[in-house]
Chains A and B, each alone.
Chain A
Amino acid sequence: MPYPPVGAIDCDLHPAVPSIKALLPYLDDHWRDMVIQRGVHELDSISYPKNAPISARPDWKPEVGKAGQDLVRLRKEALDGFGTKFAICNCLYGVQLLYTEDMAYAFARAVNDWIATEWLDKEPRLRASIVVSPQNPDYAAAEIDRMAVDKRFVQVLMLVMDEMPLGRRRYWPIYRAAERNGLPVGIHAGSAYRHPVTSVGWPTYYAEDSAAQSQAFQTTLTSLITEGVFAEFPELKVVLLESGFAWLPAHLWRLGKFWRGLRMETPWVDRHPLEIAKDHVRLTIQPYDAPPRPDDLEKLIEHFDSDEMLLFSSDYPHWHYEGNNAIPDGISRALQNKICYDNPLATYPRLKEAVT
């Protein structure tokens, strides 16, 4: 697999909260007391077991602590390594998994302030997503408005599996706030684990949880389209992060077939779902789940009927490839340029402002 071209925009990398202690300075007195008095443990999700192969590429893994917790290494391995112009930090600390909505709100604020101070202030190539607490969409919207003042925050971050499918009207305050501030909504792999990750119950193996993520992205996209999110918020873009992308055309063919037969049920869906997705949905390229043979990848890319949907991501420090070979074979040079520059700039207006 080739390297990304120099100056690419990395739309998904993961700085790690080294420990809950790192957030204490960013929590207010009450929550700082609660963390200490109640012995609140680390909010590390079971989506990324610490030593599972996906969680940290061996050469990106420190002797002590978590992969992605050290700015010096992230700078060297990810930013210098890929020669990226900008990289968007998606912090996966498990704020969305908490059951107490005011605790989740407090932690979301702390994580965002921590990212601004510990990462963005220290490294001009970094940008970040606003972590929100979907447990209470009004709180989430308030946090979007608070953080959006800082132009280095370029996106809102959610997990693909929450209490309800993400198109549900309950979440619309989040989309309204995102659209109001000109921010895409990034939906990352992972779950709040309110339900089994598969529609047929809890799996046995971690590998099944990994596999189930792409099914969750499919049902989430179904939900966003059928509920009418893109009809209500015509300016909104959604970026699917760590979603895989090979599933997208086939899924939208099927959704399109049922839409043709059942559109009486959702009259606000006034176009074929593939057309809606081409305008509103973007997907990051790692982890790469497309065919191993380049000529098959070329066919698959044709099925998208668009060269504007894919975005470059390193997914640092997660392990999906070796070296800097983050671009799959079978993607033309012209498409690489779209994936690495043009599409991210078109998706993230705040990056475009920074470039011009």
Chain B
Amino acid sequence: MTVETIGQASATKPANQKLAIADCDIHPSPKSVEREIFPYLSKRWQDHYQTYGMLLRQPYQAGPAYPKGQPDAARRDAYGPNGEKPGSDLEFMRKHHLDPYNVQLGVLNPLKSGQGLQNPDFAAAYCKAINDWQIAEWTSKEARLKGSVCLPYEDGFLSAQEIERRAGDTNFIQAFMLIRTSEPMGNRRYWPIFSACQDANLPLAVHAFGFGGTPVTGGGWPSYYTEDMVGHSQSAQSLVSSMVLEGVFERWPKLKLIIVEAGFAWAPSLSWRLDRIWAQNRQELPHVKRPPSEYMAEHIWYTTQPFEEPDRRGHLKDVFEWIGWDKLLFATDYPHWDFDDPTRIPLPRATDEQKEGFFLGNARSLYGI
């Protein structure tokens, strides 16, 4: 959908259109798994895919138990001229998205990438294939696009291997996992990922969704897709709590974490809450040396789609200032239905420098390109 902002869209200056942007959340898909992914899978895993499919910790073989708002959660206009799947055709993506929005840096975040598969060896093999495919079909053909190292993240050791394999490869600018892990992300099973990311100097992006198998609320499974979608921000809050309170940023002081598509306006209130809880429970947390808000401010970035839309834009300005303008990264979520249009989001009043950073500069300095 195009973003509807009641009484606000018209106030946004169309001058934004000329801005160069970084889009920190673009979702590429293969046109056909057999044609595009199989070349990078061994015979064993090709056969496994044909026999069992992609078994996740969810009830259905074909898709999520909460039907999306649109087929494949896609914009209706994102299908290619010959009916190609949304996000599957580079030439169409250039014409439809990269050129008109002047995307100078597009970060590819593949979703059906093998992450969260029940079989960890299959997950590792499939993620590796997806990473090879990103180079072959996307980044080697289009310099504006950069890939993400998809991790079979439920296995820390295999994930670290994949990060080491891609270290120094300029096709990739971040490591990539999903928020809904099977245990809170600060837990020790994931620590090899943090070591490997720090060593490879790759930020770690964590995207909404995932297949941990636990309900999206602490009180069980909700009824509606709306609740599942809104729930990503609560999952992200639990993730951040875990990372901070396990002392991850104390142990890996150069680790950079990017929260993708899970909101950002919740971050200030979480940081205030964690500071108070930390102050009260120091006995339990000797490994957390500083107030949680300091770790959050130093180590965490947020992509902004879906952009929070209070009725009064001044309220969002408070939030931007609490988080820090330099920690927010513009993203569209192309080709998905809840796409944010850079010319229409109700950005708070900003200086030219803040605006440039928000749309491009923050991403460039984070990724060092």
B69 at the interface (CB under 8 A from A): yes
Bin the interface of chain A by size: 35 or more
- Cβ-closest chain B residue relative to A168: B223
Write the B273-308 contact mask toward A (1 if CB under 8 angstroms, else 0). Answer: 111111011011100000000000000000000111
Closest approach, in angstroms, between the C-beta of B243 and any C-beta of chain A?
Answer: 10
Closest approach, in angstroms, between the C-beta of B211 and any C-beta of chain A?
Answer: 11
| A-facing residues in B251-290 (Cβ within 8 Å) | 263, 265-266, 268-270, 272-278, 280-281, 283-285
On whether the beta carbons of A289 and B184 are closer than 8 Å, the reply is no
On whether the beta carbons of A254 and B308 are closer than 8 Å, the reply is yes
A261 at the interface (CB under 8 A from B): yes
| B-facing residues in A164-202 (Cβ within 8 Å) | 164-168, 191, 194-202
On whether the beta carbons of B220 and A162 are closer than 8 Å, the reply is yes
Assembly CA distance A197 to B234 (angstroms): 11
On whether the beta carbons of A200 and B233 are closer than 8 Å, the reply is no
On whether the beta carbons of A208 and B306 are closer than 8 Å, the reply is no
Assembly CA distance A287 to B276 (angstroms): 9
Q: Which residues of B contact A292 (CB under 8 A)?
A: 272, 275
A99 at the interface (CB under 8 A from B): no
Q: Which residues of B contact A202 (CB under 8 A)?
A: 183-184
| B-facing residues in A233-255 (Cβ within 8 Å) | 244, 246-247, 249-251, 253-255
With an 8 Å Cβ cutoff, the count of chain B residues facing the other chain is 71
A337 at the interface (CB under 8 A from B): no
Q: Spot the interface stretch: A13-21, A115-123, A222-230.
A: A222-230
Assembly CA distance A216 to B241 (angstroms): 14
Assembly CA distance A163 to B222 (angstroms): 11
* Chain B CB within 10 A, most for which of A160, A204, A210, A250: A250
Q: Given known contacts A164-B220, A253-B310, is B212 in contact with A201 (CB within 8 Å)?
A: yes
Q: Given known contacts A219-B216, A299-B318, is B231 in contact with A199 (CB within 8 Å)?
A: yes
B242 at the interface (CB under 8 A from A): yes
| B-facing residues in A259-303 (Cβ within 8 Å) | 259-262, 264-266, 274, 287-292, 296, 299-300, 302-303
- Cβ-closest chain A residue relative to B264: A250
Give the residue of A195, A201, A254, A255 whose beta carbon is less than 8 angstroms from that of B219: A195
Closest approach, in angstroms, between the C-beta of B4 and any C-beta of chain A?
Answer: 6
Closest approach, in angstroms, between the C-beta of A217 and any C-beta of chain B?
Answer: 9
Closest approach, in angstroms, between the C-beta of B193 and any C-beta of chain A?
Answer: 15
B337 at the interface (CB under 8 A from A): yes
Closest approach, in angstroms, between the C-beta of A208 and any C-beta of chain B?
Answer: 5
8 A–B pairs (Cβ distance < 8 Å), ordered by A: A53-B280, A202-B183, A211-B274, A219-B234, A257-B308, A260-B4, A265-B226, A289-B272
Question: A: which residues have CB within 8 A of B?
Answer: 52-54, 160-168, 191, 194-208, 210-212, 214-216, 218-220, 222-223, 226-227, 244, 246-247, 249-251, 253-262, 264-266, 274, 287-292, 296, 299-300, 302-303, 305, 319-320
Which 5 residue pairs spanning A and B have beta carbons closest together? A250-B265, A198-B238, A219-B217, A246-B269, A161-B219
